[in-house]
Amino acid sequence: MGSGREPRVAKTTPQSPVLPTGSGELRGREAVLGRLRERIVGYAASRIGREAAEDLAQEVLIVLETKYPQVGAAEELAPLAFRILRFKMAAWRRKRARRGEDRQAALDDVQPADPAPDPEAEAEMRERRERLRTAIEKLSGRCRQIFRLKLEGKSFAEIQREMGAASLNTVYTWDYRCRQKLLALLGGSWEAER
């Protein structure tokens, strides 16, 4: 087990910790990581630019390698990757906002890490919560019911039973439409565009 904890990224080059596999069923952690890297680069490039995307993907993979070496399944690695990716992107945006590209010393580098909650992040989170609450309260009828049941932790199958839907697919469709409505109320994005 000891060797299992060893970061596998060390065996590959820093630019490409794992090699992407071809299409089809993904076997093994490295294959999943390779595919994840491709997707992360694709996503980040569309949001923050190609140059930063490569670095960001690399940082996400390093965290996955060093902190979660025991996780191998795609359905476990992918949500972890989404979470890390989000933190990394938020940090990247804040960093860019706090300092100019021409400035060498970042605010984060100058001061020691503050263990207290970041007031900026807190304010941002509060703003996002309020925005979502305002939008979600505008929903009506079935959409309110679906969202309420989902927030109460019900599965789609339980929602189907509770709402008396003919099939699970019907619930998926209702949910999809309600999300589209909510998204429209939020102006087309779950969070304000930066």
Partner 1 sequence: MTRDEIRKLLGGYATGTLSDAERRALFRAALEDQEIFDALADEEALRELFSDESYRRELAAALAEQRPGLGERLAAWWRPAPIAAAAAFVGVLVVGITVLTRPPAYEVAMRTEPKAAVPRAVEKAGGEAASKGGELPGTAVEEPTRQPGEARESAAERVEAEAAAVEGKPQRAARAKAKVPPEGRPAAPALPLAPRRDMVRAGAAPALGTARRAMIAEARRAPGVIGGVIPERGAVMGGSAGVAPPPAVLARPAEVARLRVTVQRLRADREFEAAPAGYRFKPGEVVRLRVVAPVPGFLYVAEQTGGSGWRLIHSGRVEAGQPVFLPARGGLPPQPEPGVCRYRVIVSEEALPLDELESGEAFEPGAAEHWAEVTLEYRAAGR
Is 68 or 179 the residue whose CB approaches partner 1 more closely? 179
Q: CA distances (Å), 169 to each of 63, 142, 162, 165, 184, in order?
A: 37, 15, 15, 9, 23
Q: Interface mask (CB under 8 A) for partner 1, residues 76-115, using x and -?
A: --xx--xx-xx------x---xxxx-xxxxxx--xxx-x-
Segment contacting partner 1 by CB under 8 A, of 2-10, 11-19, 63-71, 120-128:
120-128
Taking 3-state DSSP, the helix, strand and coil percentages for the chain, each rounded to the nearest 5, stand at 65, 0, 35
Residue 132 in the binding site for partner 1 (CB under 8 A)? yes
Binding to partner 1 (CB under 8 A) within 150-179 occurs at 150-157, 159, 169, 172-173, 175-176, 178-179
Binding to partner 1 (CB under 8 A) within 44-73 occurs at 46
**DSSP structure class, residue 102:** T
Is 6 or 120 the residue whose CB approaches partner 1 more closely? 120
Residue 1 in the binding site for partner 1 (CB under 8 A)? no
Tell me how far, at minimum, the Cβ of 184 lies from partner 1, in Å: 14
Q: Which amino acid is residue 193, in one-letter code?
A: E
Residue 75 in the binding site for partner 1 (CB under 8 A)? yes
Length of the chain: 194
Segment contacting partner 1 by CB under 8 A, of 9-17, 48-56, 62-70, 139-147:
139-147
Please state the φ and ψ torsions of residue 115, each to the nearest 5 degrees.
-70, -20
Residue 100 region by backbone torsions, left for phi larger than 0, else alpha for psi between -120 and 50, else beta:
beta
Please count the residues of this chain forming the interface with partner 1, following the rule CB under 8 A.
77
Give the whole-angstrom CA distance, residue 95 versus residue 100.
9
